[in-house]
Amino acid sequence: MVTNTPRYYAAFRCLAGACPHTCCAAGWEIPVDPDTSVRYQTLSGPLGERIRTFVETDPEGVPCFPLRGESCPFLGQEGLCHIHIQLGEEAPPLICRTHPRFCYDYGPLRERGLCGSCPEAARLILGENMELTAGREPGDGEDLPPLLPPLLKARETALSLLTVENATLSQRLQALLFFANEVQVLLDDGQTEALPQLCEFYEEEFPLLSSENLPPRQEVLKKCLCILEGLSILCPQWQELLSAGKTRLGKPVPLPPHSGERAAAYFLYRHWLRGAWDGDVLSWAEFAVLGTVISAHLSPCHPESFPETFRQFCQELEHSEDNMTAIQNALWDKLSLAEMLSVAAW
């Protein structure tokens, strides 16, 4: 099985008790995978008894740890997991052992990465350019999705547009939207055989746009903030940020050139290939622009600036499949390409 991972992936090390936003206290349900659940059922001693006391079944029938306030019941005051301390790093549930890593399979291709919701992962994502490392793992995977090869090539072009020299980040994001829109037209028309030629064109040409005829950027930004407010809010601090962002609509915030480019690349890498299953890539290009611009717009509202607003955007959107579905629908139905080009304009 072929694998892709960003180069920074191997550098990740959990901050454990030093993490300022530990995932053990993020208010998320902590599912207990079947193998770990079986082990817990036969675990002896006081810890085994305590674990079995806390394990409950959620509405979907999945064993899980209930939250004590916003925290896992096994999170100690020192910010460390009691199960990990007493039984070793392989003893906590699978989700605890793997977070903040993600893994997506596209037939014979597996892609791994780090979730931007983790502070240390966000530091790595924003601190290094996107460079993929190819490898192989045992197994053949499932059948090749027909759209995977052309979308892989198209993603290469999309990522390359974010690194064009002598262009502002705003211009790069607009070029990305133009390209994704043309890719989407070919997908909708069933003309995937024309995608290589389109990629070649964008590798040689870089479209520039005059913003004179675009919708007013301030109004579109407000509309985007309202859409985000209408999603499920996972953390109260996010609602506060969005509200503060509305008060700053008349105060333009420049896009951070390096960290903004890397944020957009992260979103593209993580979500573009969803189109291999549903044929939608334009929404995920727009999502990359939305995540980058909103994080920049909100950055003056937080003392830790862009890295923290980027982290919170990832946490609120990417850790809720309901929110991801809702934002995809909103990008299709409520925000036009012209409005997204306006959001990217600077």
Q: Are 62 and 31 in contact, with CB atoms under 8 Å apart?
A: yes
- Residue 207 corresponds to which amino acid? P
Query: What whole-number distance in Å separates Cα of residue 277 and Cα of residue 148?
Result: 9
Query: What whole-number distance in Å separates Cα of residue 346 and Cα of residue 341?
Result: 10
**For position 229, what pLDDT does the model report?**
97
**For position 208, what pLDDT does the model report?**
87
pLDDT in tens, 221-277: 999 999 999 999 989 999 999 999 999 998 989 999 999 999 999 999 999 999 999
pLDDT in tens, 167-196: 999 999 999 999 999 999 999 999 999 999
**What Cα–Cα distance (Å) separates residue 219 from each residue in 18, 225, 258, 260, 298?**
40, 10, 26, 22, 16
**For position 272, what pLDDT does the model report?**
98
Sign of CA dihedral 254, 126, 214, 212: positive
Per-domain boundaries in the chain? 1-142, 148-344
H/E stretch holding 263 reads: helix 257-271
Q: Are 222 and 247 in contact, with CB atoms under 8 Å apart?
A: no
Q: Are 308 and 244 in contact, with CB atoms under 8 Å apart?
A: no
**For position 262, what pLDDT does the model report?**
98
| pTM of the predicted structure, to 2 decimals | 0.93
User: Which stretches of the chain score pLDDT less than 70?
Assistant: 68-69
Strands 2-6 and 109-114: parallel
**For position 184, what pLDDT does the model report?**
98
